[in-house]
Structure 1
Amino acid sequence: MLIYGAGGHAKVIISLLRNSGTSVKAIFDDDPAKRTFEEISVTGSYDPDLHVHETLILAIGDNAKRAQLAAKIVHRFENVFHYSSLIDRDVRFGLGNVILHCAVIQTDAIIGNHCIINTSAIIEHECKISDFVHIAPGSVLCGNVTVGECTLIGAGSVVVPNVVIGKNCLIGAGSVVTKNIPDGVIVRGNPARIITQTHYGKENLALATAYGRHGNDLHSAGI
């Protein structure tokens, strides 16, 4: 297998692959200062002509960066699963996903492409996870939750059933999301409230502002 990325997330993936008996043929990274990584030579920037029959995984934690890189890769992508993950047989996956230690994905969930389901994350039944999403360690998505493209669910967050979270959102660590979240906003707290917009959220200003007012009202009422 080929790895694109030579940072902390890549360390976890390489360890997973080694423990499963999968060899890493090459590591690509755009930083010219990186010569070796985890005792493997770093090839340099992506080379579409190297090991053309090998599959590749994007070992990049940043959602937007993974999305940018995926568009230029010609190698085939593959999913990577830690052996301790618990995945129902009816779960549907795209390609390029990383499912890490002790993650749980329940029946009829749909996982898109190039998602990270991190350590001990729980995705319950019928959840729909769009492309380039990161479900951080210890997060819990209750049943029938939808998460939009390039959104990060921060570590230890809880999303209650049937909530829809938009694309390009950042859910702060430890948040409890109790209602729908529009595209392109940063939320945090219990209950989660909009704090500001992400770089991608300018077109959603009115919606975000309305949500923020309602969230403040709920917070003032102690809900």
Structure 2
Amino acid sequence: MMTNLFSSFDPSSNTLLSLNWMSALIMFIVIPPMFWFIPSRLNMLWISIILLLHNELKILIKYKAFKGSTIFFSSLFTFILLNNFLGLFPYIFTCSSHLNFTLTLSLPLWMSFMIYGWTKNYTFMFAHLVPQGAPNTLLPFLVIIESISNFIRPSTLAIRLTANMIAGHLLVTLMGNSGSMIPPSLLMILIIAQIFLLTLEFAVAIIQSYVFSILTTLYSGEIN
């Protein structure tokens, strides 16, 4: 019985060497050998998914000078997706459920977009603060609102991913800890509910990684 519900998200270790964050690097050990073998059905399925994502990201960027940018955003999608999937396995620390991990992804990306936009295309960045056709009396307020919404983008990206991963894991933890306190007649219902929640978490892991990469692509397209 856990004394604290949020202890499942505590990146602590009983050993002297903390290996919790090593789960974020597991995919770099697993994925590279796949490229040395003859493509299997799993490889072809993954290639088709990446090509589908490439076509969607190419439409969102809308800038021909950014050739190869879809490779970066597809890699970002893969990195977050695999970290979300690893968190569904028992005894593996969920990196994407902590803000220090998600902010490390969102903040440098947002900073690079802002630095590039304000140094290379500052006229467009100023024009982006004022919506087209807005009345003159509302222009000062619109500039403030647009500036605030622009500054909170990295935090909203990070909090969205973290909150969604924490919420599902908390439900699974709550239901799993209640197994020893319910009568045996209701145990099958609990197992079915746990399977349903794990399926839902599987879908959330895909959706949140997709949303993160799509929003990052949209933010990059706004600086041109």
Query: Who wins on radius of gyration, i.e. which is larger?
Result: 2
TM-score by length of 1: 0.24
Structure number with the higher helix fraction is 2
TM-score by length of 2: 0.24
